[in-house]
Amino acid sequence: MFGLVATAALTAALITAQMAGFTRLDFPLVLGTLVTEDPDRARVVGFFIHLLAGQGFALGYAAAFAVLHRATWWIGALFGGLHVAIALTVLLPLLPGVHPRMASQRAGPSSTAVLEPPGLFGLNYGVQTPAVAAVVHVIYGVVLGLLLRAD
Amino acid sequence: MTGPRPLAPISDYGLLGDTRTAALVSGDGAVDWLCVPRFDGEPLFGRLVGGPEAGTFRVGPAPPAPVVERHYRPDTATIRTTWAVGDRRLTLTESMVAEVTGRLLPATLLVRRLSAEGGPVDAVVEFDPRLGERHRRPRVRRRGGVLVCEWGSLAVSLSCAPDIAVEPGRPTSVAVTPGRPVTLVLAVASREPLVDVEPEAAWDAVLRDEARWQAWTAGIDGSLPFREDVVRSLLTLRLLTYSPSQAPVAAPTTSLPEDPGGMRNWDYRYVWPRDASIGVNAFLGVGKLDEAHGFLAWLLHASRLDRPRLPALFTLTGRRVPRERELAGWPGYLGSVPVRFGNAAAGQHQLDGYGWVVDAAWVFVQAGHRLYSETWRAVRGFADVVAGRWGEPDAGIWEVREAGQHVHSKLMGWLALDRALRIAETHRLSARQRRRWQQARDAIAEEVRARGFDPAQGSYVRSYGSEDLDSSLLVLPLLGIDGIESARVSGTIDAIRERLSAGGPLLHRYPPGHDGISGTEGAFLPCSFWLVQALASTGRRHDAEELFRALREHASPLGLYAEELDPATGAHLGNYPQTLTHAALVQAALAIRDSPG
């Protein structure tokens, strides 16, 4: 349950940043297009995949808090920072290798993949993408830290 | 070493490309322009505008010999150049490998093969890579038979079969004997390991690519008028499309001059929404749905950060175009300075851009495709901007640096609202928004007819209160603001044809020099193809065909077009080859096909 709340907070912050024109990063779209090419449907499917993934990561956060025997908002924020560092430097750049609808930097004329590769730090989705991603992940960690401390 | 060799005319250059970057190669076998790792990257060979210090890669006869034949192999992106060396022949066949996905190949792979006929021929290899603005020399090492040049995270390798001891910056002689071709392979790695490719394997990759291009062009309607020209233009458009994002770059070059010796030198290695939009039309018109969809998807993806405002241009990945700056010490093409990186037009308000983009979405709907809700949301946003800002001055399609009340911009604003309203017939739209758009559309029509039309000339004019004409108004018959039978439409076409004529089929875009920039310029080629389109769509098919034939005579020997031509000499001017010109050529041929005349 806590994972769902934290993921919802992350998603709300990300959508706000998108609407404000800070980034083109759209997790529900990127995840949903693993399943369907229709972006409208992809966003719905992707949202649930995102919630599920958020729940999985929350279990990881909970396990890490348990190892430390304490849960605080600032430890959650640190975990969020680590999480986003891995996401931006490892997960996003690897995505074109497995995503059927995302082009790679090596795409050629036969490529019908239409999602642009995010590039290192997701910079292809706007120069402020790393900052936005960092903020929303820190929010995610802070929310989990607060909720798990209260548990 | 490279100093004494004069630069070739622009039209002498051929385009090699892999849909991520492109090289320009002259008739004497010199790659004088190649940016890595993509179109807007740093020049690796920059001699074209950077002078001898900027690097080149020449492979050809030693000493230079006359070209007896040069062409693209049919329906491919491979160039074949043959020189006569006495009674012998030396042939260079060269290409870049476009399709590398799923295979262990470098992202950029240039393959050049020399072969001889009639006896051995002495050839020369001049390999002088220099990187970036300061012409940085590489750290050089040899690994087996492979020459490796490194600049930090960027490395290029040159391998040869049979083995040749090429040394960067020095000419290397090689004897080419019949039946024993010499193959050179240039591989580029940016922020990744170099991949060694055996020359024979690289040549096989070229042949596979050729088969792929031939299969691609085979799908283009065989009965199209001027099909050969259309196919070359479509191939050029595809080569100039950056595959990772589907963005069409306006041209692969910067600062090739519109006025040789002057300062009209701009960086075109970016993407203009209007080019993408015209590309949607061109590719849809020949049934290339994937490419049309790719262009539209890129447009909507790129504009997302700035919506509902539509920037005048983007980088290949939809980012802000770098600030315009001048490169110190770069001599420019034929002394045309400054050489510029970046483009100041990025900050301009260009109302016409909205019209091109919304029209592309409408064309897509007309072809039977429903817009996704996000696409329709974007279109609604663009239409709202037009409804709110159409009365403001803008820089217009020609990007003049002082804003004005441009009639073409107003017409394109009208087009944006008209096409958005048509799309709304099958998509959701609130009654309030619909009313707002209708009112704005009608107000534009009323104002343009009152203030943008000169009854004395019987023509629409360039801007309110001006007597100047503007060739961009040739799109008038396609809009529908006035019927194609209207005297306003035919009057505008005839007036432009007569008063902006640069001789033969050539047109100036507006009276030369009327743009506040020193120097003059040539005839603007897309306008000539728009004239073909205007004539065809108003039933003057015969005139349109005649004009098209005359324009073909101005193509480069390889069938390519720059943006402009010098009417006096026929020399190509401006960045080259040019997406807008080739897209306009395709649209002109399609208009002839569909002409009621």
Q: HEC string of B81-124?
A: EEEEECCEEEEEEEEECCCCCCCCCCCEEEEEEEEEECCCEEEE
Closest by Cβ to B99, choosing from A22, A108, A117:
A108
A21 with B98: Cβ contact below 8 A:
no
C-alpha dist (Å) from residue B573 to B87, B264, B307: 35, 10, 35
Best residue in A30, A114, A115 to probe B by mutation, most B CBs within 10 Å? Answer: A114
Please give the pLDDT value at position B242. Answer: 96
Please give the pLDDT value at position B3. Answer: 47
Q: Binning pLDDT at 50, 70 and 90, where does residue A112 land? A: confident
Check: CB of residue B96 under 8 Å from CB of residue B120. no
**Each residue of B529-553: pLDDT tens digit?**
999 999 999 999 999 999 999 999 9
Find the distance separating the first CA and the last CA of chain B, reported in whole Å: 58
Check: CB of residue B418 under 8 Å from CB of residue B359. no
For residues B227 and B274, what is the distance between their CA atoms, to the nearest angstrom?
Answer: 24
Asked whether the predicted pLDDT for residue B571 surpasses 90, the reply is: yes
Quick one: which of B97, B92, B60 has its CA closest to B79? B92
C-alpha dihedral sign at B374, B379, B384, B385: positive
B372 with A109: Cβ contact below 8 A:
no
CA A81, distance to chain mean position in Å, is 12
C-alpha dist (Å) from residue B417 to B352, B371, B375: 12, 17, 15
Quick one: which of B478, B588, B592 has its CA closest to B528? B588
Can you tell me whether residue B503 is helix, strand or coil? strand
B212 with A109: Cβ contact below 8 A:
yes
Residue B49's H or E segment, with its range, is helix B47-50
Closest by Cβ to B306, choosing from A21, A38, A127:
A21
CB atoms within 10 A of CB B442: 12
Closest by Cβ to B98, choosing from A23, A108, A126:
A108
Q: Taking CB atoms and an 8 Å cut-off, how many pairs form between chains A and B?
A: 83
The mean of the pLDDT values for chain B is: 95
Can you tell me whether residue B57 is helix, strand or coil? strand
Apex B567 CA angle, B561 and B523, nearest 5: 60
Average pLDDT over residues B347-359: 95
For residues B202 and B277, what is the distance between their CA atoms, to the nearest angstrom?
Answer: 35
What would the two tokens of residue B194 be? 């170099």
Distance from CA of B415 to the nearest CA of A (A): 26
* Chain B positions touching chain A (beta carbons under 8 Å): 18-20, 37, 98-101, 107, 212-213, 216, 238, 243-246, 290, 293-294, 297-298, 301, 304-307, 317-320, 372-374
Q: Binning pLDDT at 50, 70 and 90, where does residue B299 land? A: confident
User: How is the beta sheet containing B564-565 ordered, strand by strand?
Assistant: B523-524, B564-565, B572-573
Please give the pLDDT value at position A119. Answer: 85
* Burial class, B184, CB count within 10 angstroms (exposed 0-12 / middle 13-18 / buried 19+): buried
What would the two tokens of residue B275 be? 């080019």
Residue in the structure block whose two tokens are 């700056």: B325
Quick one: which of A41, A7, A17, A52 has its CA closest to A128? A17
Closest by Cβ to A109, choosing from B216, B245, B317:
B216
Half-sphere exposure of B142 (CA within 13 A, CB side): 10
Find the distance separating the first CA and the last CA of chain A, reported in whole Å: 11
Give DSSP secondary structure letters for chain A. -HHHHHHHHHHHHHHHHHHTTS----HHHHHHTTT-S-HHHHHHHHHHHHHHHHHHHHHHHHHHHHHHT---HHHHHHHHHHHHHHIIIIIHHHGGGT-TTB--TT--TT----BPP--GGGGGG-TTHHHHHHHHHHHHHHHHHHHHHH-
Asked whether the predicted pLDDT for residue B2 surpasses 80, the reply is: no
For residue B238, list chain A residues with Cβ-Cβ distance below 8 A: 109
Distance from CA of B106 to the nearest CA of A (A): 9
Name residues whose C-beta falls within 8 Å of residue B569's C-beta, 6 or more positions apart in sequence. Answer: none
User: Across the strands, what pairs with B89?
Assistant: B84, B117
Quick one: which of B332, B316, B423 has its CA closest to B380? B423
**Each residue of B223-276: pLDDT tens digit?**
999 999 999 999 999 999 999 999 999 999 999 999 999 999 999 999 999 998
Check: CB of residue A132 under 8 Å from CB of residue A5. no
For residues B426 and B365, what is the distance between their CA atoms, to the nearest angstrom?
Answer: 9
Distance from CA of B381 to the nearest CA of A (A): 13
Check: CB of residue B277 under 8 Å from CB of residue B300. no
C-alpha dist (Å) from residue B310 to B301, B422, B427: 12, 21, 22
B319 with A108: Cβ contact below 8 A:
no
Apex B57 CA angle, B51 and B60, nearest 5: 115
Please give the pLDDT value at position A86. Answer: 93
User: Across the strands, what pairs with B157?
Assistant: B148, B187
How big is chain B, counted in residues?
597
User: Across the strands, what pairs with B460?
Assistant: B453
Average pLDDT over residues A54-63: 92
Instruction: Provide Rg for chain B, Cα atoms.
Output: 24
Please give the pLDDT value at position A18. Answer: 84
For residues B530 and B570, what is the distance between their CA atoms, to the nearest angstrom?
Answer: 19
CATH architecture of structural domain B10-201? Distorted Sandwich (2.70)
User: Across the strands, what pairs with B454?
Assistant: B459
What would the two tokens of residue A33 be? 């297009």
B107 with A105: Cβ contact below 8 A:
yes
For residue B20, list chain A residues with Cβ-Cβ distance below 8 A: 105-108
Asked whether the predicted pLDDT for residue B324 surpasses 70, the reply is: yes
Closest by Cβ to A106, choosing from B100, B246, B307:
B100
CB of A21 within 8 Å of a chain B CB? The answer is: yes
C-alpha dist (Å) from residue B562 to A45, B60, B84, B248, B553: 46, 25, 28, 16, 14
Residue in the structure block whose two tokens are 């619909």: B434
CATH class of B219-593: mainly alpha
Distance from CA of A83 to the nearest CA of B (A): 24
Check: CB of residue B234 under 8 Å from CB of residue B221. no
- Higher-confidence residue: A114 or B175? B175
For residues B274 and B559, what is the distance between their CA atoms, to the nearest angstrom?
Answer: 23
Instruction: Provide Rg for chain A, Cα atoms.
Output: 16
Percent of chain B with pLDDT over 70: 99
What would the two tokens of residue A105 be? 């930097």
Average pLDDT over residues B434-439: 98
Percent of chain B with pLDDT over 90: 87
Can you tell me whether residue B518 is helix, strand or coil? coil
Best residue in B305, B320, B373, B374 to probe A by mutation, most A CBs within 10 Å? Answer: B305
- Higher-confidence residue: B97 or B305? B97
B374 with A39: Cβ contact below 8 A:
yes
Where do the structural domains in chain B lie, given as residue ranges? 10-201, 219-593
Residue B468's H or E segment, with its range, is none
B101 with A110: Cβ contact below 8 A:
yes
Average pLDDT over residues B450-456: 97
For residue B191, give the DSSP letter. Answer: S
The model carries a pTM of 0.94
**Each residue of B100-143: pLDDT tens digit?**
988 999 999 999 999 999 999 999 999 999 999 999 999 999 98
Closest by Cβ to B99, choosing from A18, A110, A127:
A110
Distance from CA of A103 to the nearest CA of B (A): 5
Distance from CA of B224 to the nearest CA of A (A): 23
- Which chain A residues in 93-122 lie under 8 Å from chain B, judged by CB atoms? 103-112, 114, 116-117, 119
For residues B20 and B38, what is the distance between their CA atoms, to the nearest angstrom?
Answer: 5
C-alpha dist (Å) from residue B590 to B288, B332, B586, B587: 13, 37, 6, 5
Q: Binning pLDDT at 50, 70 and 90, where does residue A150 land? A: low
Closest by Cβ to A108, choosing from B100, B318, B372:
B100
Asked whether the predicted pLDDT for residue B304 surpasses 90, the reply is: no
What would the two tokens of residue B218 be? 């085979």
CB of A40 within 8 Å of a chain B CB? The answer is: yes
Asked whether the predicted pLDDT for residue B1 surpasses 50, the reply is: no
Quick one: which of B269, B359, B378 has its CA closest to B314? B269
Can you tell me whether residue B502 is helix, strand or coil? strand
Distance from CA of A88 to the nearest CA of B (A): 17
Closest by Cβ to B212, choosing from A103, A110, A124:
A110
For residues B515 and B592, what is the distance between their CA atoms, to the nearest angstrom?
Answer: 32
- Higher-confidence residue: B417 or A1? B417
